[in-house]
Copies of this chain bind each other. A is one copy, B any other.
């Protein structure tokens, strides 16, 4: 009983840090000040999970219950900004791929799992996983005044999370151990995402 909870918590920590980094990088590339960088990092990290909790009517929010997350991300932004500024690292789109794919898989698994545990319909559980995985990034792009990248770049992203969510639902349906279902969901989602980027797979659009 408690082991899945521990796994879910670890998933949340790792995914939160990966998404915060993606927000940090995006805001830093847009030359925001430290307030904007911190706000976008927190939004990217907590946006998906918060919307999930609003949709599932779960309180307190996980970043309220575990307020250490807030200290961690605030602290990392304060410490990280001068360190990274001094290090002359340039963050490229490529540098964001791996943490982003892992965060997508991790958040998608957590969202799908929680929605199923609350007895939601399967399609709602799958979309809760997708929303948990992608909504932080959507909000991040809206705050940066861009069309959300996942809507226009013709690269599979939400589709990977949707596929991973159904892998989770299928394994859950045949009563596989939760650890297996979570792992399979994360590996499927992150693997599909990285494979899609490596092979340049395209999502169909409206007249090209």
Contacts and interface: CB of A to CB of B under 8 A. Distances in A.
A139 to B, nearest CB: 10
A37 B206 contact: yes
B81 A206 contact: yes
B35 A203 contact: yes
A28 B208 CA distance: 10
B28 A206 contact: yes
Nearest to A203: B33
Most buried by B among A28, A32, A151, A152: A151
A145 B146 contact: yes
A9 interface: no
Q: How many copies does the complex hold?
A: 3
Interface in A117-141: 120-121, 123-124, 127, 138
B33 A127 contact: no
Interface stretch (A14-22, A51-59, A169-177): A51-59
B159 A35 contact: yes
B34 A205 contact: yes
Interface string A107-118: 000000000000
A114 to B, nearest CB: 14
A199 interface: no
Nearest to A143: B148
Nearest to A91: B206
A185 interface: no
Contact of A204 (B39, B54, B81, B150): B81
26 contacts: A31-B152, A31-B205, A31-B206, A31-B208, A32-B147, A32-B205, A33-B154, A34-B203, A34-B205, A35-B151, A35-B157, A36-B147, A36-B151, A37-B205, A55-B64, A57-B59, A64-B120, A64-B124, A67-B121, A70-B127, A81-B206, A85-B206, A85-B207, A142-B143, A145-B146, A145-B147
